[in-house]
Amino acid sequence: MSSVRVLVGTHKGAFLLTADGKRNNWTVEGPHFAGWDIYHLKGSSVDPNRLYASQTSGWFGQLLQRSDDGGKTWHQPGVPAGQEPPQAGPPTAAPNRFLYDTSAETGKPLTTHQWYDGTQHPWEFKRVWHLEPCLRDPNTVYAGVEDAALFRSTDGGETWHELSGLRGHGSGSSWMPGAGGLGLHTILLDPKDPNRIYIAISAAGAFRTNDGGKTWKPINKGLKSNFMPNPDAETGHCVHHMTLHPSKPDTLFMQKHWDVMRTDNAGDSWHEVSGNLPTDFGFVIDVHAHQPETIYVVPIKSDSLHYPPDGALRVYRSKVGGNEWEPLTRGLPQKDCFVNVYRDAMAVDTLDDCGIYFGTTGGQVYVSPNGGDTWQPIVENLPAVLSVEVQTLA
């Protein structure tokens, strides 16, 4: 029987939650890297033993970690064996090597960007928001960072090189940070076309490459952001998250700062599918593993009140690709609940009865073993959850 491994990144370390295919009896391992922010933790779909983790600290900086044995042991790529820093405490070795490239247009380094108020700001490396292992090679992995840039490693994280065409295509100098920073937080790899990648940046919008990252195109037509001087501008939109189903990589779903959006032409144009949601503000969006028109969101009251409407935690599901939504509440707290669900904190497994998982800022991780019909907590007292990913294991 298949089993599942849920990878949870929190404000105080990483946790691995495992269960058999019934998803009833769970084993909790951790914390790994205790005391560190683990912004993202993700495993390879090619090699289930290969895991990557973004380990960061406001005091000690950014490190990346790799496991080749399913999380039993960890190694900091780029550092000789035996010289890695401890999992908790200050680093004792040089951090991972992230090499910013030169502008694809000018050949010169991009060192500043201009905000809407006209002021110039240095381009800084603060943290890795998202890690996305390649669908074909476990040694190739992408990293989205803050300030927004996209990196790729082809040697298991030992070295990283920027795909500079993204920042260099023309609008990079005008990107501005959202409330959480200027983060490249979403990386979607097309399973049918290895040269096509989608990314999203807060607050710059969505972009697509069709040539493996050499050139990029903004894909924000149809998005409207009233906080911008030009609400229909080509770039500058605060996209919170995007998702797609492997069988339909031209169809993407987006949770924007406000509005739930859909495209059926690879991002060339978007239309709103918020429908009857109680609020169309939120951070997370995901799609059922076997039903490409079934999508999930967790509405939050507003951009200033980051908790569920009426203090009732509800996941909303649409089985028709948007517009018509139903609240999923069985097993979730419906009173005095004021948690949030961050953009990378929902995932789905690929078992026959698709499991849906999400984590909250209150430290709860929930699972629904039946596509959202009922929910149960796996754990309830973790540190605030930053990310949730899941691996289906043979």
| Residue 391, Cβ density class (10 Å: 0-12 exposed, 13-18 middle, ≥19 buried) | buried
Tokens encoding 62: 């950014």
Assign 92 a pLDDT band (cuts: 50, 70, 90): very low
Q: What are the CA-CA distances from residue 51 to residues 143, 306, 316, 317, 394 (Å)?
A: 13, 31, 30, 30, 16
Confidence at 81, pLDDT banded by 50, 70, 90: low
Task: Locate 32 and state its tokens.
Answer: 């790994």
Residue 104 pLDDT greater than 50, yes or no = no
d(C-alpha 101, C-alpha 104), whole Å = 9
Contacts of 316 (CB under 8 A, 6+ apart): 277, 296, 297, 298, 299, 325, 326, 327, 328
Distance CA 13, CA 34 (A): 4
pTM: 0.93
Query: Are the C-beta atoms of residues 129 and 283 closer than 8 Å to each other?
Result: no
pLDDT single digits (tens) 214-251: 999 999 999 998 888 888 989 999 999 999 999 999 99
**Which has the closest alpha carbon to 202: 230, 241, 174, 231?**
241
**pLDDT reading at 108 higher than 50:** no
Pick the closest to residue 65 from 74, 73, 150, 57 (CA basis). Answer: 74
Amino acid 80: pLDDT: 67
**In this predicted model, what pLDDT tens digit does every residue of 329-356 receive, in sequence order?**
999 999 999 999 999 999 999 999 999 9
Point out which residues pair with 316 in neighbouring strands.
297, 327
Residues 6+ apart with CB under 8 A from 196: 189, 190, 208, 209, 210, 249, 266
Burial of 224 by CB count in 10 Å (0-12 exposed, 13-18 middle, 19+ buried)?
A: middle
The reported pLDDT for the residue numbered 98 is 65
CA 164 – CA 87 distance, rounded (Å): 32
CA distance linking residue 65 with residue 211, whole number of Å: 29
pLDDT tens by residue, 171-209: 877 788 888 889 999 999 999 999 999 999 998 999 999
Tokens encoding 248: 């339909």
Count of C-beta atoms within a 10 Å radius of residue 201: 31
Reduced 3-state DSSP string for the chain = CCEEEEEEEECCEEEEEEEECCCCCCEEEEEECCCCEEEEEEECCCCCCCEEEEEEECCCEEEEEEECCCCCCCECCCCCCCCCCCCCCCCCCCCCEEECCECCCCCCECCEEECCCCCEEECCCCEEEEEEECCCCCCCEEEEEECCEEEEECCCCCEEEECCHHHHCCCHHHCCCECCECEEEEEEECCCCCCCEEEEEECCEEEEECCCCCCCEECCCCCCCCCCCCCCCCCCCCEEEEEEECCEEEEEEEEECCCEEEECCCCCCCEECCCCCCCCCEEEEEECCCCCCCEEEEECCCCCCCCCHHHCCCEEEECCCCCCCEEECCCCCCCCCCCCCCCECEEECCCCCCCEEEECCCCCEEEECCCCCCCEEEECCCCCEEEEEEEEEC
Domain ranges of the chain: 1-81+341-394
Average pLDDT, the chain: 90
- Among residues 388, 372, 374, 355, the alpha carbon closest in space to that of 2 is found at 355
Percent of the chain with pLDDT over 70: 89
pLDDT at 266 (0 to 100): 98
Contact call for residues 354 and 289 (beta carbons, < 8 A): yes
Question: What residue type is assigned to position 97 of the chain?
Answer: R
- Where is average pLDDT lowest: 80-84, 240-244, 320-324? 80-84
Q: What is the mean predicted confidence (pLDDT) over 322-334? A: 98
The torsion angles phi and psi of 297, rounded to 5 degrees, stand at -140, 165
Band (pLDDT 50/70/90 cuts) for residue 126 is confident
Tens digits of residue pLDDT in 247-294 = 999 999 999 999 999 999 999 999 999 999 999 999 999 999 999 999
The stretch 79-106 carries a mean pLDDT of: 54
